[in-house]
Amino acid sequence: MFVSIIHATDQASAAPKQVKVHMPAFNVELNGILIENEHQKYPLLVYNDITYFPMTWDYSRALSLSVNWDQESGLSILRNNQFRQKPQQSLGFNNDPSHDYTATVADYPINVNWKNIDNANEPYPILQFRDITYFPMTWRFTHDEFEWDTSWDNKAGFKLATIQHKVLYHLFYDEGDFLYAYGNQNDIYQINKSLEGAPVRLAKDAADKIAKHEKDRFQPYQAANFENKNEKVELKDQTIIYKQLELLSFSSSTEDKQKDKTKSNVMPIALRNKVHSFESIVLPVNNQISFVHLTVYYSDRDIYTPQDSFTFIVKDGRAVPVPEFNQRPNYLIPNKDGSSWFISQAPSSMSARTARLRGQVLHVSSDGTTTSMNNQTQAENLDLLYVDQGALIIRAYSDLLPPQQIKETDGIYALDGNKPAAKLYPYLPGDYYVDASRNLYLLDGMTNRLTNITTNSSKYWWDYELMTQLY
């Protein structure tokens, strides 16, 4: 329907208006492909300084357009983002770039995205040339109707990029020369660290083997590996006790105890309902110091259960509250100098259960001194990216959900418990990954662009390079 029947045989007897057109004297790229216009059977044209594309089957598919012709209703052009086809070129034809050609103004009914076009009065009308409809790449159509990206450069010429499907989402593993990323519907892609070639979608068996490695990187540091379940935390008479220390008391005498904090280990709290239940985790900082975290529930547990979280460093018979770290830790990283890192990762998705959670990192020195890295980096969220002999690489940022408000202090930091946090790179939205060689990669949050920030090299893949592997 696209190539030969668009020119109706029973048009009105009046001869269509003819206009002079010529071929572009500049380069034109469509989705990264340079158009070889001189040898196209249906070359690109220029009219009134606007580039025109032929609505052949190949071009319409590459532009993600549905083009239909009906004898009564005429021509219909609709945006259809399902098409993901590499631009195909019908070569073997010889055109004269210096020659002017004649095209006609289309005189049949036309609608674009269900809107009628008064083609006779358009400053850049839809044309016909060699019995094919030609469509103008004006701002009105490319940006307003189809949401494409266009650019012009005196050297590079005219570039047009259609809407691209996001395919690569999350880098999670590396091995040898390759990175591995999750794509659509949990497909796994293998990407060469050199960024050469296109990512390869793995077959199911190979993907399943790689997926098993997703948690390998930080598995040795899972807090559950270190939890001391023999040291009991108990609730007696609305008082939570650990090693005969009163950590929290919710009894009627709580208010009196808070008045003299120097004689009590009780953490100041606001009086609330009685404790219904609690959870605890006890982790070692070193042989002399313990980390105790409590989650206190005030009613039967469900998504909206009223609750509070409390953290303590226990040393020399004293329990010191740490209010700046108020979440259950996911990871514990012990260091050779007797200090430890405690890390609570930010939630991967937001829900009623996770809405109040943030990414937190706490350093506890060998003498029990605590340092909140969130306070030091002035970031609401910290994500663990890499561990190397007690030194961490983390991502510091504020907003969990887009649109993200990026602060000057956001970025990638190196953390060493004995030194202030050192900012390595400014913050960019996207998915970060540090490989075994400490190369920092960024997978763009909106497009299929992967950047090795360490080497300052980058590669962009068009979605037709990735989507075709799904079929």
Radius of gyration in angstroms for the set of CA atoms belonging to the chain, rounded to a whole number? 32
CB 340 within 8 A of CB 334: yes
C-alpha count within 13 angstroms, C-beta hemisphere, residue 44: 24
For residues 303 and 310, give the distance between their C-alpha atoms in angstroms, rounded to a whole number: 19
Global pTM reads 0.84
User: Per the structure block, which two tokens stand in for 96?
Assistant: 């004269």
Q: Which two tokens stand for residue 243?
A: 């090693």
Per-residue tens of pLDDT for the chain, all 471 residues: 344 444 444 444 467 899 999 999 999 999 999 999 999 999 999 999 999 999 999 999 999 999 998 888 899 999 988 777 899 988 888 999 899 999 999 999 999 999 999 999 999 999 999 999 999 999 999 999 999 999 999 999 999 999 999 999 999 999 999 999 999 888 999 999 999 999 999 999 999 999 999 989 999 999 999 998 888 899 998 899 999 899 988 865 444 444 444 344 444 444 455 788 889 999 999 999 999 999 988 877 665 667 889 999 999 999 999 999 999 999 999 999 999 999 999 987 766 666 778 999 999 999 999 999 999 999 999 999 999 988 999 999 988 777 778 999 999 999 998 899 999 999 999 999 999 999 999 999 899 999 999 999 999 999 899 876 665
**231 Cβ contact partners less than 8 Å away, ≥ 6 residues apart:** 242, 243, 282, 290
Structural element, H or E, at residue 210: helix 204-211
Could you give the C-alpha distances from 84 to 79, 114, 150, 287, in angstroms and in order?
12, 22, 18, 60
CA 267 – CA 279 distance, rounded (Å): 17
Tokens of 455: 């080497």
Q: How far apart are the first and last CA of the chain?
A: 24
Mapped onto helix, strand or coil, the DSSP state of residue 34 is: strand
Phi, psi (degrees; rounded to nearest 5) at 404: -80, 135
**Cα separation, 351 vs 402, whole angstroms:** 15
Q: Are 250 and 276 in contact (CB under 8 A)?
A: no
